[in-house]
Amino acid sequence: MYSTMQDVPLLVSRILEHGRKVHATSTVTTWTGEAEPHRRTFAEVGDRAAQLAHALRDELGVRPDDRVATLMWNNAEHVEAYFAIPSMGSILHTLNLRLPVEQLVFIVNHAADRVVIANGSLLPLLAPLLPHLPTVEHVVVSGPGDRSALDGLDVRVHDYEELLAGRATGYAWPELDERQAAAMCYTSGTTGDPKGVVYSHRSIYLHSMQVNMTESMGLTDADTTLVVVPQFHVNAWGLPHATFMTGINMLMPDRFLQPGPLAEMIVAERPTHAAAVPTIWQGLLAELAARPRDISCMKNVTIGGSACPPSLMEAYDKLGVRVCHAWGMTETSPLGTMAHPPHGLSGEEEWPYRITQGRFPAGVEGRLIGPGGDELPWDGESAGELEVRGTWIAGAYYGGADGEPLRPEDKFSADGWLKTGDVGVISADGFLTLTDRAKDVIKSGGEWISSVELENALMAHPEVAEAAVVAVPDDKWGERPLATVVLKEGATADYAALREFLGLSVAKWQLPERWALVPAVPKTSVGKFDKKVIRRQYADGELEVTKLA
């Protein structure tokens, strides 16, 4: 027996048209660095998305299933591309502008992109790549920039605004299969080549609904979200789609991602929410310490991408800004968990829940697998590798234009669960606490040491700006922790003092013997600590390491 319900496909075009009509006056505000930012209503974004779709189809010959890449900052034009490309039946492919050149070349060629839409300011990055990108036929340039870099290259160059000018503001969006590809994003390739994750219309739609749930970000049309997380990073954590569902206003920073400009736009535009990785909020905190401003308008901040140090949460609490910890990855769209404490607790009682990665939403199932392959209980003590499955979780990687989907055994279980590579525990009431990445756990004398726990404890020191801990070889114990530390300006703490401070919260046998001061912790293209670089620097003798007795 089947239901009597209508079978209406869950499509990106339906999100677009809903926002365009029902939330027509909500706005996408793009920071310009000038006296007045650029503002565009959802209705205008919808009109221009239709014009872009006409231009891509009629002028550039883009067909269903063609990949259209974007090399863009967070701005209104990028939002237009977010909706136009999948709604017309093609596939949006966001390019991470912070990746190494060789990885960008690999990604574009692997995806076989036909068109690249790029901000003019990023042409110096794109132009040298184009001779190595045989599938790219067209480059569409949005905004100011020196276009002479494209002279003489074997591509057709178009101006974004000229392409849109005079075209119809309505488009007969096709009725697609909701399982069809809508967008793709590649992992940052920290080991091996980057891997392509392809999101369906269905997965984006369901993920957007979850983002809007009160147990997730829970924003409404009374809110403005500052979208600092890049649009090339897992669909900006689903915010562009979620905003069009509920009418949330968007504040887009464009290329102004430094702490000073971010502080200025918060003061000027008064967003109520923001989303970014911890390194962004650490930089903003230092900026506010040097030049105080009132940012208490931001009642809620979502932090994900890597573990948020508890000391950072405490610092923002004092500024009137509540931080909510989240966990996810490219393969999870990315929403996997969010750390909202159970109802009815006091502030002190909430704290143990806030510093976890949070609870799984209804669309995501989680399990822990022990070293022997057994599933572990949710008891808050049994540690294993986290595996997940759900309606917006990847079941394979993109195999290339002519290839089958890839399901490597180290990434997917035999019964189809995604192996996250994260190690942690789950409490009886479903709160996930990650203790490390599987590859970053320090195995010392047969016992595990959490690098994340050591980092969080170190970054609670008032003179420490950043700290990253990695495993290094040790003749006696197999591995021991190496602590690399960035001190705040004017700080005087020495290694012995830092080790003594660390001993207040960490077992003595876990305390690092090896220490190094660094000017900055290396970061990946999405702002995470790049520990493979630290391990290489240590192996090559590039770090000035002090070993304490």
- Distances from the Cα of 413 to the Cαs of 190, 382, 386, 390, 510, in angstroms? 21, 20, 11, 14, 32
Q: 443, 500, 509, 542: which one is catalytic?
A: 443
Both tokens of 187, joined, read 């992992």
Task: Assess contact for 270 and 260: CB atoms under 8 A.
Answer: no
CA-CA distance, 308 to 341, in Å (whole number)?
Answer: 16
Active site residue 448: yes
CA-CA distance, 18 to 22, in Å (whole number)?
Answer: 6
A 10 A CB-CB count for 189 gives 18
Both tokens of 466, joined, read 């950043």
Q: 448, 453, 463, 477: which one is catalytic?
A: 448
Q: 178, 331, 455, 466: which one is catalytic?
A: 331
User: Residue 148: which residues within 8 A CB-CB, separation 6 or more?
Assistant: none
Active site residue 331: yes
- Distances from the Cα of 76 to the Cαs of 32, 367, 413, 427, in angstroms? 11, 39, 40, 41
* E strands in 348-446: 358-359, 364-369, 375-376, 384-390, 418-426, 431-437, 442-444
Write out the DSSP string of 307-344: PPPHHHHHHHHHTT-EEEEEEE-GGG-SEEEE-PPPTT
CA-CA distance, 65 to 88, in Å (whole number)?
Answer: 9
What's the burial of 282, exposed, middle or buried (CB within 10 Å: 0-12/13-18/19+)?
buried
CA-CA distance, 464 to 488, in Å (whole number)?
Answer: 6
- Distances from the Cα of 476 to the Cαs of 7, 358, 469, 472, 482, in angstroms? 64, 37, 19, 12, 15
Both tokens of 10, joined, read 């869950």
CA-CA distance, 310 to 303, in Å (whole number)?
Answer: 12
Could you give the residue numbers annotated as active site?
187, 331, 443, 448
